[in-house]
Every structure is written in structure tokens, then in C-alpha cells.
Amino acid sequence: MNQNDMMARLQRDPNAAQRVMESADGQALMQMLSGTDGGAGLQQAMAQASAGNTAQLAEMIRQVMQSPQGAALVRNIGTSFLK
């Protein structure tokens, strides 16, 4: 599952988003996405995503996926929760 598929699935299925958020992989991903700004950028991206603009959140996920650890987390989430 690629990044666009994941974002589309999360938009369509709020229960999937909740399951991801409650998982250990989801928590680790959120920590990575929160970065050094205390989560302010993530909160802004989430607000935009809930309004239908997922570009900023998608870019944040793309950046996280550039690290081996981030890529593994996203892959695990896609495999485990978003099929």
C-alpha cells in the first residue's frame, strides 16, 4: 500500500485511523511525525487533512518514510491495519 492509498483509506474509514492511533506502531509514527516542534506542525497538518487537504500530512509522512525506521513503521501499519 502506498502513501496515497493509506491517506485515502484513513479518510474513508475513521475506525481504521483509530486502530492505527492506538497501536504501538501508530504511536511510534506519531512521535516521529511530531518532530521537534512539540507536535504543532502535525496538529496543523491534521486540521488541514480533516478539512480535506491532505497535502501537508502526506508530505510529513513522505519525509518520515525516508528513514528506514519510518518506512518500516508505515509498512507495518499498512500491512496490519489498512488492508
pLDDT at residue 57 in the model: 85
pLDDT at residue 58 in the model: 84
pLDDT at residue 52 in the model: 85
Q: DSSP class of residue 71?
A: H
Helix, strand, coil distribution of the chain in percent, nearest 5: 75, 0, 25
- Reported pTM: 0.71
pLDDT at residue 35 in the model: 86
C-alpha cell at 33: 511525525
The parts of the chain modelled with pLDDT lower than 50 are none
Write the CA distances from 11 to 36, 37, 53, 66, 68, integer angstroms: 26, 25, 11, 23, 26
